[in-house]
Amino acid sequence: MNNRQKLHRSVTNRVLAGVLGGIAEYFGWNSTLVRILYVVLAFTPGINIIAIIGYVVMIFVIPGDPSEPGSFVDQLKATLSNGTSPNKSRKVIHNVEEKDVHDDQKRG
């Protein structure tokens, strides 16, 4: 019934958290121009602190893409609590012989 596009952080058009890419997708603007405008605001005296704090607030306020399994905030929380990314796991390699890289230099 409601085909109206909703504002969310972008998954495909992301540099840091997908906030500016999501805003560009929502309004149908070029994401590069949105990022350039944000950088200009971030370096404008008197507005820079507001722009930076606003970006951080938007990371937590704007929801992630519903089709994405884990949001940026969830990934950040998991990284801070575990020290590793939640998507990466340790790989166990079996039947591997360890070799000293300097063996060839020692022999000759």
Per-residue model confidence as pLDDT tens digits over 41-90? 889 898 888 888 888 888 888 877 666 656 566 666 666 666 554 555 66
pLDDT reported for residue 105: 61
What is the C-alpha to C-alpha distance for residues 50 and 6, in angstroms, rounded to an integer? 24
Mean pLDDT of all residues in 6-11: 76
Residues 6+ apart with CB under 8 A from 101: none
What is the residue-averaged pLDDT of the chain? 75
pLDDT reported for residue 36: 92
pLDDT reported for residue 68: 61
Domain ranges of the chain: 19-107
pLDDT reported for residue 1: 44
